[in-house]
Each structure stands twice: as structure tokens, then as C-alpha cells.
Amino acid sequence: MIKDCLTMLKNAQYYGYAIPAFNIFDFESIYWVLIAAEIEKMPIILQYVPKFESYIPQETVISIVDSLSARIGVPISLHLDHAHHFEEVKNNTKFFNSIMFDGGNLEFEENTSMTKRVVEYCHKRGITVEAALGQIVSTVDNNTDTIKYTNPALVPEYVTATNCDSLAVSVGTAHGKYINKPIIDIPRIEQISKTTSVPLVLHGGSDLDPDILSRCIYSGITKINIFTDYNESLYENVFQQMNIKRKGYFLGCLRRSQTDVISFLRDKIKLFNPRGVNIYNTMS
């Protein structure tokens, strides 16, 4: 069932768990996440990145999700991840009920003004907006440069000025496969959490130690983005099945991969509820 993203985030914030947000790009990547979420009774956010458009159009993703959501009992939100331009936002408001506008690489004033414009446009259409303060880098960049991190002192002004619904923070994580073990600035998350009531979002959630994920959630993180881990699980399982049975049909390879990929997803989803909340009973 498709639900309002902000309601889902506020529920997670209140009860002290985090919602997994998986990037999806084809039927299997959507369906297998939804199966795992249904089994674990966990609300789920399905994320689409604009650069995927050349591979699978938004309309196709929406059709797949609409079709499958009728079979799924947990709340589902469709989220556009990393929109960098206002036109990108405008072109996608008919497809998604939640959008991230990523102005984290901009100077504070420009980030604030552009995000405010996006929020005003989206709120008129009932769309939740995730904003970004601080640079969320890739793993090939220096993700230990604290100058790029979210400054807790700027958060109240930024949230008030933009009226954003949630805030992606930069605290040491990065996009992609980590080259070195990341050092996550947990005290910074705690500081930020004390300065604002909006749900906090962690990008670059793949390949983090379970203990670190738990500490992030305990410190105030309400949504965690996962792509690299999931992408690797899909690749490795399909590749393994192709090597086990070198002759056969691709459909059979996908079917044989499904069990292990869903098992990976279930294990990952379990990490997002360190307090052991009976989440299903909290959902309306």
C-alpha cells in the first residue's frame, strides 16, 4: 500500500527505528525488496535516481510498484533520490510522493534559497521533500574531510528557512563501496538531532558495521539509504547461479537467485530496528 512518506518517517522517529530506503532499477529489484519488507513487517521506501531514466523510465517503475503494492500489506513510499535541479523536480512530481533535492554541494545561501523554492512547489502538490545540508560525497572522494560535514549550528536556520520535511546529513558516510573503513561522526548526529525535530536521513548506508548502524539510529537517524550492498547482492547471486549452471535460461537463473537475495534483504532490514519495536502494530 502506497503511503505518505512523511507519516512513515514521523512514525519511525517516534518509535525509534529507521526505514530502509533501497534504490531500485528493474522488476526484480522492486519485487524482492517488497517481499522482504512484507515478511519482516517493515515499512519501505523505494528510491529511483534520475540517472536510471535511460535504463528504466519512471512510468515503468510506477506501473510495477502500483501493480505489486496491492499485494503488500506494509506502507510503501516512492521517492526520487538526488534531484539536483528544479526542472528535474518539476518533471517528476507526477510520479513520486517524496523527493530529495540535493543542494548539499552548494553554498549555504544558494542551497537554502533553491531548496525553499523546491519545498514550496512540492508542498502545494502534497509531496514530501528531503533536503541536504553538507556534502554527501562518493567513496572515491575524501569522506573524512569534516569541512564537508553538516554543521549542527546551521541546521535550525536551514530547516526553518526551507521548511523541509526531512534532512540528509553528512557525517562521514559516502556513496559507493568503501575503500577504507568509514569513521562515522556519531556525536555530530546527536548534536544535529538536538537542534531540529525533522527526521534525519543517512546516505551511504551500505557496508556499515551493524553496531554503527544501530548507534546511528539510536542517535536520531530515521531513514537510511542502501544501494551498493543491494546491487552487489543481486550481481553476486546471479553470477553464482550462472556459473553453477552454465547452460539454461536466464529466467531460471533469476528464480534461483531470489531466495538468497531476499535472505540478504531480510538480514539488512532487521538491522534497522535495534530497539526491537513491534513495528507492524505501530503502523496505521
- Higher-confidence residue: 258 or 241? 258
Joined grid coordinates for residue 203: 546516505
Q: What is the pLDDT of residue 133?
A: 97
**Residue 61 CA to chain centroid, in angstroms?**
16
Question: Residues 81, 102, 165, 185: which is the catalytic one?
Answer: 81
81 belongs to the catalytic site: yes
| Alpha-carbon gap, residue 172 to 165, rounded angstroms | 22
Q: Using a pLDDT cut of 70, give the percent of the chain over it.
A: 96
| Cβ contacts of 203 within 8 Å, gap of 6 or more | 136, 168, 173, 175, 225
For residues 29 and 22, give the distance between their C-alpha atoms in angstroms, rounded to a whole number.
9
Residue 78 forms beta bridges with which residues? 46
Ranking 116-120, 194-198, 240-244, 253-257 by mean pLDDT, the lowest is 240-244
Give the residue among 150, 205, 211, 217 at the shortest CA–CA distance from 176.
Answer: 205
The predicted pLDDT at position 198 comes to 98
pLDDT digits (tens, 9 = 90+) for 67-118: 999 899 999 999 999 999 999 999 999 999 999 999 999 999 999 999 999 9
pLDDT at 139 over 70: no
- The reply to whether CATH 3.20.20.70 applies to domain 5-229+265-282 is yes
pLDDT band at 140 (very low <50, low <70, confident <90, very high): low
Contact between 258 and 232 under an 8 Å Cβ cutoff? The reply is: no
Lowest mean pLDDT among 42-46, 103-107, 176-180, 231-235: 176-180
Higher pLDDT pick, 223 / 239: 223
Q: Structure pTM?
A: 0.94
Domain boundaries, the chain: 5-229+265-282
Q: How confident is the model at residue 25 (pLDDT cuts 50, 70, 90)?
A: very high
Query: In this model, does residue 246 exceed pLDDT 70?
Result: no
